[in-house]
Amino acid sequence: MDPITALLDDLLDEIRPMDDGAPAAYIPELAAADPDRLAFAVVGPRGRVRVVGDGEHEFTIQSISKPFVLALALEECGRERVLECVGVEPSGEPFNAISLAHDTGRPANPMVNAGAIATTALVGEPESDIDERTARIVSKLSAFAGRSLWVDEAVYASESATGDRNRALGHLLRSYGVMTGSVEAAVETYFRQCSLLVTVRDLAVMAGTLAFGGVNPVTGVRVVSTRVARDVLSIMSSCGMYDYSGEWLLRVGLPAKSGVSGGLLAVAPSQFGVAAFSPRLDAHGNSVRAIAAVETVSDRFDMHLLESH
């Protein structure tokens, strides 16, 4: 084991005993997650990926899909069109809040469900069906990860079967004219993007692609422009951790995004992409041990972006 991997391995041993929180319980597939799984990965500028813990374990990406679908929408429609449909202000509310600006119906930001559904609705042509929209999203997220990603059909079926709140958000968005196309196409596509299977390595590489200005550090492929990567990181900085985003910025100081299956990725621009996975969640829906892992790494390696050096 090289010295950095050994260091990361020790770090996981330190946080492994933390047993606060519990896996998400709103669908059986997530409720059945092994709460003890723990994994961490980091990718540097030359594309070397280091993985420790349960690195091979696959889980659904859930809300961590949101910044990458935002990147696709920014690329396809441009920043001004995206900003017509979704704001960029922290909501201070939980991820599934029924919260739209009362005059325009615009969701607070693309990292909460309402904003993510509005963002997903921007992908593709107005008449595109669920399969076409999903294919564009899967292809882009696969380029971010540097390998072909697949939808977990059982999770998708459960997301769709229990997704009335997200469906209601879709209808509200359409009632305001924020979304003009089919609510069903947008919401089902959103459920499919949430159900993509990833490993902690995939998440680290996806974070790395944002860290290195839109170029995947492993494949060398440009996935999005430097400007789009910068825009996505800006929004992750203020909104990526739901109603914990302010405290996260204070303590860790890195743009990040979490998801309800227990994944978390964070970006140190031009330096690293990192990711952690542990299914036990806190009251905000963020992974307790993934937060601890990234916070510790940020501290030990002086990665807080607002620290002067």
Q: Cα–Cα distance between 145 and 205 in angstroms, integer?
A: 5
Closest residue to ligand GLN, judged by C-beta, is 63
- Write down the least CB distance from residue 69 to ligand GLN, Å: 12
User: Which of 166/298 has CB closer to ligand GLN?
Assistant: 166
* Count of chain residues binding ligand GLN (CB under 6 A): 11
197-198 vs 256-258, strand pairing mode: unpaired
Pick from 260, 267, 276, 303: which binds ligand GLN (CB under 6 A)?
Answer: 260
Pick from 252, 285, 287, 297: which binds ligand GLN (CB under 6 A)?
Answer: 285
Burial, 35: exposed, middle or buried (Cβ in 10 Å; 0-12, 13-18, 19+)?
Answer: middle
Pick from 166, 209, 237, 298: which binds ligand GLN (CB under 6 A)?
Answer: 166
Looking only at residues 187 through 246 of this chain, which bind ligand GLN when binding is defined by CB under 6 A?
Answer: 194
User: Which of 160/271 has CB closer to ligand GLN?
Assistant: 160
Residue pair 123/76 in contact by the 8 Å Cβ criterion: yes
User: Which of 85/194 has CB closer to ligand GLN?
Assistant: 194
Select from 120, 129, 4 the least CA-distant residue to 68: 120
- Write down the least CB distance from residue 155 to ligand GLN, Å: 9
User: Which of 95/212 has CB closer to ligand GLN?
Assistant: 95
Among left, alpha and beta (phi > 0; psi -120 to 50; other), residue 67 is: alpha
- Write down the least CB distance from residue 7 to ligand GLN, Å: 29
Pick from 29, 54, 152, 159: which binds ligand GLN (CB under 6 A)?
Answer: 159
- Write down the least CB distance from residue 224 to ligand GLN, Å: 22
Q: Helix, strand or coil for residue 198?
A: strand
Q: Cα–Cα distance between 44 and 14 in angstroms, integer?
A: 23
- Write down the least CB distance from residue 123 to ligand GLN, Å: 16
User: Which of 105/285 has CB closer to ligand GLN?
Assistant: 285
Amino acid present at 284: H
3-state helix, strand, coil split of the chain in percent (to 5) is 50, 10, 40
- Write down the least CB distance from residue 93 to ligand GLN, Å: 12
Looking only at residues 87 through 106 of this chain, which bind ligand GLN when binding is defined by CB under 6 A?
Answer: 95-96
Q: Cα–Cα distance between 263 and 168 in angstroms, integer?
A: 26
Show the tokens assigned to 286: 């963020």
User: Which of 144/242 has CB closer to ligand GLN?
Assistant: 242
Residue pair 225/71 in contact by the 8 Å Cβ criterion: no
Residues 6+ apart with CB under 8 A from 250: none
- Write down the least CB distance from residue 95 to ligand GLN, Å: 4
User: Which of 161/221 has CB closer to ligand GLN?
Assistant: 161
Pick from 29, 41, 63, 138: which binds ligand GLN (CB under 6 A)?
Answer: 63
Instruction: Name the one residue in this structure whose structure tokens are 């519990």.
Output: 22
Residue pair 295/105 in contact by the 8 Å Cβ criterion: no
Amino acid present at 255: P
Looking only at residues 26 through 55 of this chain, which bind ligand GLN when binding is defined by CB under 6 A?
Answer: none
User: Which of 63/134 has CB closer to ligand GLN?
Assistant: 63
Residue pair 150/186 in contact by the 8 Å Cβ criterion: no
Q: What residues make contact with ligand GLN under the rule CB under 6 A?
A: 62-63, 95-96, 113, 159, 166, 194, 259-260, 285
